[in-house]
């Protein structure tokens, strides 16, 4: 596993950005895509149909963009089958492994802003109001979901590195480190 200071073996053309909810995967992927000339595919937009229902064509669309040569996307929906499609094609995984206090505060700010402003996210969906942060069910409460999945990548990354030896993995442990790494890649 590489750190922010380690050079990449080559400039990747297909990149996955991993991290817990609130780490900033979408923002990071978008910035990296601009820096490297990669198409950023926001995977949430492929997954969510109106009323937050899964789109039936989701995996077909993931297969379609994964077959392309230049892309960056968030590494999500792994339980829905994206691992088998994306990991073999990706050349680099950037793991945003930030401290809990950072991801928690980011997620609270994002959830409040989306809930109050009611900005459209994907396919007509809008963040439910801020009161949903009080629900106990992780499927209804993004904060509970974050808590439930907080250690997911720490548990998965060693196995993924073993299963996909072709995949370079860069672990970034703080937003300042991520910003420095992005600057060094420009």
- 19 pairs with which residues across the strands? 96
Contact criterion met (CB below 8 Å) for 17 and 32: yes
Choosing among 3.40.50.620, 3.40.50.970, 3.30.470.20, 3.40.50.300, the CATH entry for 14-103+151-185 is 3.40.50.300
Contact criterion met (CB below 8 Å) for 92 and 170: yes
The whole-angstrom distance between residue 139's C-alpha and the CA centroid of its chain comes to 18
State the distance between the two ends of the chain, measured CA to CA, in whole angstroms.
21
Q: What is the pTM of this model?
A: 0.90
Q: Where are the domains of the chain?
A: 14-103+151-185
Distances from the Cα of 86 to the Cα of 25, 73, 106, 156, 166, angstroms: 16, 9, 27, 15, 13
Q: Which residue has the tokens 């963009």?
A: 65
Condensed to tens digits (0 to 9), the pLDDT of residues 13-69 reads 999 999 999 999 999 999 999 999 999 999 999 999 888 789 999 999 999 999 999
Distance of alpha carbon 89 from alpha carbon 71, whole angstroms: 10
The whole-angstrom distance between residue 179's C-alpha and the CA centroid of its chain comes to 16
Tell me the percentage of the chain whose pLDDT exceeds 70: 91
Distance of alpha carbon 92 from alpha carbon 169, whole angstroms: 6
Question: Which of the two residues, 119 and 26, has the higher pLDDT score?
Answer: 26
Contact criterion met (CB below 8 Å) for 165 and 90: no
């Amino acid at each position: 596993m590489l750190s922010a200071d380690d050079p990449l073996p080559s400039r990747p053309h297909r990149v996955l950005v991993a991290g817990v909810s609130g780490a900033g995967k979408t923002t990071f992927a978008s910035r990296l895509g601009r820096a490297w000339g990669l198409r950023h595919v926001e995977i949430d937009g492929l997954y969510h149909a109106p009323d937050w229902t899964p789109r039936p064509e989701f995996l077909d669309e993931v297969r379609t963009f994964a077959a392309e040569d230049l892309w960056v996307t968030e590494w999500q929906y792994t339980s829905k089958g994206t691992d088998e499609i994306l990991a073999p094609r990706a050349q680099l995984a950037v793991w945003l492994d930030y401290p809990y206090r950072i991801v928690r505060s980011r997620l609270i700010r994002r959830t409040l802003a989306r809930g109050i402003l009611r900005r459209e996210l994907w396919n007509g969906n809008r963040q439910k109001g801020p009161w949903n942060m009080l629900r106990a069910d992780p499927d209804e409460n993004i904060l509970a979901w974050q808590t439930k999945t907080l250690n997911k990548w720490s548990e998965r990354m060693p196995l993924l590195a073993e299963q996909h030896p072709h995949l370079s993995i860069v672990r970034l442990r703080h937003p300042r480190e991520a910003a420095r790494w992005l600057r060094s890649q420009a």
